[in-house]
Structure 1
C-alpha cells in the first residue's frame, strides 16, 4: 500500500527535495562530480513528481507562490550555512516578508484547502 500524504505535506516534500537538488547542483560543479549530479537529478525528479501530485488538489498559483517563496528562503539559508553566502539586512528583511506572505496565505486564504 502506497503512502498517501495530504497536499500540503506533498508540497513540503517537493520544496525540501528541490532545495536538496539545488544544493547538489552547486556541489556538482557543472555536473562534473558524480554523486552530487545524481542527487541533483533524483531530487529534482522527486520535487517535480510531488509538485504534480499537489497540483491535482490545490490551485496552481497558490502552489507556486508557496513553492517559490519557501524555496527561495530555504536555499538562501542553506547557501549561507554550507557555501558561505552573505545575507545582508535587505535580504533578511525580504525573506521575512516572503515567510510572512506564506503565513498570510495559510491562515487567511480561502483559495485552497487547508
Structure 2
C-alpha cells in the first residue's frame, strides 16, 4: 500500500506541474509549454493507474482530483498572483477535509478486510 500512495503522490505532482504550465503558454515558449503540459498530464494518468491497482479507484481519483485542485490553486496564488475570496478558500478547505475523511475511511475499510 505505501508504494501505491507514492504513485498517487507522483500522479498529483505531475498533474499540478502539467496544469501549471498552462499559465506559461502565452509566452514565446508555447510549443515547449504544450509538450511539457501533455507529457506531465499523461505521466499523471499513468501514475494514477498504478495507484489504482492497490487503492480503490474512487478513493484514488477523489484524492488525485481534490488535492490536485487545492495545490493548483495554491500555485496560482503564490506564483501567478491569482486572487481568491473567503468563500473560495472555505470551499477548498472543505474539499481537503472531505479528502481526508475519504482517505481515512478507506484505510479503516482495508484494516477490516485484512483482519
Class of the TM-score when normalised by the shorter of the 2 chains: 0.7 to 0.9
Tell me how far apart the structure 1 counterparts of residues 68 and 109 of structure 2 sit (CA, whole Å).
Answer: 20
Which of the two has greater helix per residue? Answer: 2
Match of 1:78 in 2: 75
Tell me how many residue pairs correspond in the alignment.
109
CA distance in 2, matches of 1:92, 1:83: 17
What displacement does 1:58 show?
Answer: 1.4
CA RMSD of aligned residues (A): 2.2
Q: Give secondary structure in 1 for the equivalent of 2:21.
A: helix
4+ long deviations beyond 4 Å? none
TM-score with structure 1 setting the length: 0.83
TM value normalised by structure 2: 0.83
In structure 2, C-alpha distance between the alignment counterparts of 1:75 and 1:88, rounded to whole Å: 16
Could you list the runs of 5+ residues in structure 1 that have no partner in the other structure? none
Deviation (angstroms), 1:26: 2.3
Stretches of structure 2 that go unaligned for 5 or more consecutive residues are none
